[in-house]
Amino acid sequence: MSAPVAFGSVVFAKDVERLARFYEAVLGLQVLHSAADHWVLRANSGMELVVHSIPPAIAESFRISTPPERREDCALKLFFPVPSLAAARARARALGGDLLGPEREWEMRGFRACDGHDPEGNVLQLREAGLPA
């Protein structure tokens, strides 16, 4: 019998291992599989995040600055739960990404949220639960 298919997303990366390690550390994901061209990470909820390499011809056509420029013109922004925005912010910054400062956090429906980006500039949102709904 095969395993059930999980909900998930794919993020394309120039540096697959660096980006996978970022999501593993900031979100507390478990590495299910790693290869040169992709890593599969899983949350306790069963959601999977696949970090997949950008084809070399495309990857060679652009550079990622330090710090990375946020790719805010993307049509998609992923959001993820974290136990603590403050702790996630510190880990993100230590690993080459960023989460906007506490003054940019906002609240609704029982969580506090803040936008940021990963080390390659992909936008994301982190959400800390625990506020009254």
- pLDDT value of residue 130: 81
Reported as a pLDDT band with limits 50, 70 and 90, residue 101 is: very high
Q: Is 3 part of any domain?
A: no
The CA distances from residue 99 to 24, 36, 42, 129, 131, in Å, are: 16, 28, 22, 17, 20
**For position 73, which CATH number holds?**
3.10.180.10
Per-residue pLDDT for 80 more than 70?
yes
Q: In which domain, by residue range, is 19 found?
A: 8-55+69-129
Instruction: Tell me how many domains the chain contains.
Output: 1
Per-residue pLDDT for 72 more than 90?
no
Helix H or strand E segment including 128 = strand 123-129
92 touches 44 (CB < 8 A): no
- pLDDT value of residue 133: 59
- Give the whole-angstrom CA distance, residue 101 versus residue 111: 16
- pLDDT value of residue 21: 98
Average predicted confidence (pLDDT) for the chain: 93
- Give the whole-angstrom CA distance, residue 81 versus residue 77: 14
Per-residue pLDDT for 1 more than 60?
no
The pLDDT of 49-55, averaged and rounded, is: 96
- Give the whole-angstrom CA distance, residue 104 versus residue 3: 40
